[in-house]
A and B are shown apart, each in its own frame.
Chain A
Amino acid sequence: NAGVTQTPKFQVLKTGQSMTLQCAQDMNHNSMYWYRQDPGMGLRLIYYSASEGTTDKGEVPNGYNVSRLNKREFSLRLESAAPSQTSVYFCASSEGGAGLYEQYFGPGTRLTVT
């Protein structure tokens, strides 16, 4: 069991470039999440997918889009990267709702936008 995997691990973008962060889980979980972690701010929820076929905004969705490709995969897209999006991005999954089930996190993607 790989758990939650994320690609790439590191990425450097120029302002205005686009990219997609990939996330996959092999635990047959229903719910998946994208967070960003910035120094001194903890993790903030960008988007989540409660179940296959649904996505919803979290706390900081502006500048991002997501796709729940199937039950295993949940991607995060930056259409036009900005320096403010420099951060560490974490994908997570859980069997069901965040209150009732623990979330399992991937190793993170460190993104720098210059």
Chain B
Amino acid sequence: AQKVTQAQTEISVVEKEDVTLDCVYETRDTTYYLFWYKQPPSGELVFLIRRNSFDEQNEISGRYSWNFQKSTSSFNFTITASQVVDSAVYFCASCFDDYKLSFGAGTTVTVRA
């Protein structure tokens, strides 16, 4: 069965610091999909990125970047020059069949002004 582990429960940084969130997954499948979602204090989950197992290219979107490494089964997420608005719970998730997403426990990021 697939499993996603986010070892960091909480991270607290000062504004403008960089923060990296770790995500490690377990799977026996050759085809799988990985995701990151953000849950701000308002409560709704917001999709950030999707990556399939055949695409190991790193991705950058503004201050967000993702590092996918199959060799270490990791899909880490970095926020560069963090801002107070980045304070949220961030979830890593994997898809182990067409319809089932398996979420990690989440990492709470607090950015202090």
A positions within 8 Å CB-CB of B? 31, 33, 40-45, 48, 50, 56, 58-59, 88, 90, 92, 97-100, 102-108
Contact (A98, B45) CB under 8 Å given A42-B105, A43-B103, A103-B101:
no
Instruction: Give the size of the chain B interface in residues (CB under 8 angstroms).
Output: 26
Q: Which residues of A sit under 8 angstroms from B55, Cβ to Cβ? A: none
Given contacts A48-B100, A99-B98, A105-B45, 10 further A-B contacts (CB under 8 A): A40-B9, A42-B93, A42-B104, A43-B103, A45-B102, A97-B95, A99-B33, A100-B33, A104-B47, A108-B43
B positions within 8 Å CB-CB of A? 4, 9, 32-33, 35, 42-47, 50, 52, 91, 93, 95, 97-106
Q: How many inter-chain residue pairs (CB < 8 Å) link A and B?
A: 65
